[in-house]
Amino acid sequence: MTVPESMTSPSEPLLSVEGPVATITLNRPAHRNRLEVGDLRALLRHFAQIDADPGIRVLTLTAHTQGQPRPVFCSGYHIGSFDSDGDDPGLFERVADALAALRPITVCALNGSVYGGATDLMLACDLCVALADIEFRMPAAALGLHYYPSGLQRYVARLGASGAKRAFLSARPFTAERLWRMGCLEEIADAADFDEAVARLVAEVADLAPLAVQATKKSLNEIAQGRIDMKALREREAMTAQSRDFAEGREAFKERRKPRFSGS
């Protein structure tokens, strides 16, 4: 399923759904996939549509990079939008927070370099496959900007305090290899193998028991944010232990076959 063109501008992020997998594609390759206000609002609409569809188990976030001399996944928020009438200073933060809080597991298919606020979109995804030779750079301080709180929190949670300080206080780029060593990437792939690497990861995630993986994601995010609600953790543990999926998983293990999870 694809969102009808009448519902989105030609350059806004595109949403398609195939079975349990949704894909959002950033769609301004001529402008290094920069994010404008309309793009951010389209992303929020797409996220709401995805969350409302229980059949979607995985979201892949990627970008069109055709025609670019060097692939750029996203150059971040369009600087000119800061001075536009009606600018909403909290809009980008709400998009990143909504992405981090999505019910399905999110996979960033980082098929180009990533800059500025778009680095937080990558960190807001649960898993990431990166194209070799990309760079990751946060120039907020070079522009005179203190970053929004939830983004700083995500940076520290994903990169550690030292990595976050390097990103923000030096504005130096990170290579894919450095991100890999810091545990931010599931895989680095050459251009010839990139699509296959992403597809393999997405298929593996889509095969997991949806109740368990989605509940566990929520718990892990809360723990990373320093919010440990033991009662909620125990309730999720009990819910999955009593689920049909857990019964099916045990039966499939005994029968040495692939489980057929229903999400119930």
Positive/negative CA dihedral, 135, 61, 80, 87: negative
More confident of the two residues 84 and 7: 84
- Which pLDDT score is estimated for 104? 98
Show Cβ contacts of residue 66 under 8 Å, excluding neighbours closer than 6 positions: 29
Rounded mean pLDDT, 173-179 = 97
> Is the predicted pLDDT of residue 85 greater than 90, yes or no?
no
- Which among 30, 27, 22, 29 is positioned nearest to 11, based on CA atoms? 27
What Å distances lie between residue 29 and 10, 33, 148, 157, CA to CA?
12, 5, 26, 30
Q: Lowest-pLDDT range, 1-10, 72-81, 140-149?
A: 1-10
Which H/E stretch holds residue 16? strand 14-18
pLDDT tens for residues 74-84? 999 977 555 55
- Please answer whether residues 33 and 27 qualify as being in contact, where contact means their C-beta atoms are separated by less than 8 angstroms: yes
- The CATH-assigned architecture of domain 5-206 is Alpha-Beta Complex (3.90)
What's the rounded Cα separation, in Å, for the pair 68 and 209? 39
Q: Beta-carbon neighbour count of residue 7 at 10 Å?
A: 10
- Which pLDDT score is estimated for 263? 87
In single-letter form, the type of residue at position 75 comes to S
Rounded mean pLDDT, 140-165 = 94
> Is the predicted pLDDT of residue 233 greater than 70, yes or no?
yes
- Which pLDDT score is estimated for 216? 96
- Which among 66, 21, 64 is positioned nearest to 199, based on CA atoms? 21
In the chain, CATH 3.90.226.10 sits at 5-206
- The pLDDT-based confidence of 264 (bands split at 50, 70, 90) is confident
What's the rounded Cα separation, in Å, for the pair 36 and 92? 10
- The pLDDT-based confidence of 69 (bands split at 50, 70, 90) is very high
Rounded mean pLDDT, 220-241 = 93
Rounded mean pLDDT, 180-203 = 97
> Is the predicted pLDDT of residue 252 greater than 50, yes or no?
yes
What's the rounded Cα separation, in Å, for the pair 80 and 16? 29
pTM above 0.85, yes or no: yes
* Highest mean pLDDT, choosing among 3-17, 94-108, 218-232: 94-108
- The pLDDT-based confidence of 126 (bands split at 50, 70, 90) is very high
Rounded mean pLDDT, 61-86 = 83
